[in-house]
Structure 1
Amino acid sequence: MCTFWVVECENDCAGVVQLLLDLKADVDALDKHGYTPLCVAATSGNTKVIDVLHRNGANINHVAYNDDTAIYLSARKGNKEIVRKLAALGARPTVKNFEDIAEWGSTQLLDILKSADVDFTIRDSDNISILHLAALTANTPVVAWLLNNSSLDIDTEDFIGSTALHYAISTGSLPLVRTLVKHGANVNAKDIFDATPLYFAFYWKRLNVAKYLLSKGAKI
Structure 2
Amino acid sequence: MAATDAESKYAIHEAAREGRTQVVESLLSANPRLAKLVDQDERLAIHWACAFNHLDIVKLLASTRSFDPDAQDGSGWTSLMIASSLKENSGEAIVELLLSKEADPKITTNIGATALHFAVSKGNLEICKILLKHGASARTKDKRGQLPLHRAAAVGSVPIVKLLLENKTPINATDMDGMTSLHHAISEGHAHVAVELLKAGAETDKKDSDGKLAIECAPDNKVRSYIIQAAEREGIEFE
Deviation at 1:217, TM superposition (A): 1.5
Partner of 1:141: 159
1:73 pairs with 65, 77, 82, which one?
82
1:190 pairs with 207, 217, 228, which one?
207
Cα displacement string for residues 153-172 of structure 1 (whole angstroms, at most 9, x for unaligned residues): 11111113221011111122
Q: Is the 8 A contact 1:198 1:213 kept in 2?
A: no
Q: Is the 8 A contact 1:103 1:139 kept in 2?
A: no
Q: Is the 8 A contact 2:80 2:103 kept in 1?
A: no
For 1:58 and 1:106, locate their aligned partners in 2 and report how far apart those are by CA, in whole Å. 25
**Structure 1 unaligned regions, length at least 5:** none
109 and 59 in structure 1: CA distance in 2 versus 1, 3 angstrom threshold = closer
Task: Confirm or deny that 1:111 pairs with 2:129.
Answer: yes
4 and 26 in structure 1: CA distance in 2 versus 1, 3 angstrom threshold = closer
Task: Confirm or deny that 1:82 pairs with 2:84.
Answer: no
Cα displacement string for residues 113-133 of structure 1 (whole angstroms, at most 9, x for unaligned residues): 122212332222221111111
Partner of 1:20: 31
Q: Is the 8 A contact 1:60 1:70 kept in 2?
A: yes
Task: Confirm or deny that 1:152 pairs with 2:169.
Answer: yes
Deviation at 1:142, TM superposition (A): 1.5
SS in 1 for 2:28: helix
TM-score by length of structure 2 reads 0.73
**CA-atom RMSD in angstroms:** 3.0
Deviates more, 1:4-13 or 1:129-138: 4-13
For 1:41 and 1:29, locate their aligned partners in 2 and report how far apart those are by CA, in whole Å. 13
**Structure 2 unaligned regions, length at least 5:** 1-8
90 and 59 in structure 1: CA distance in 2 versus 1, 3 angstrom threshold = closer
Q: Is the 8 A contact 1:10 1:41 kept in 2?
A: no
Kindly provide the amino acid, as one letter, of the partner of residue 38 in structure 1: I
26 and 161 in structure 1: CA distance in 2 versus 1, 3 angstrom threshold = same
200 and 16 in structure 1: CA distance in 2 versus 1, 3 angstrom threshold = closer
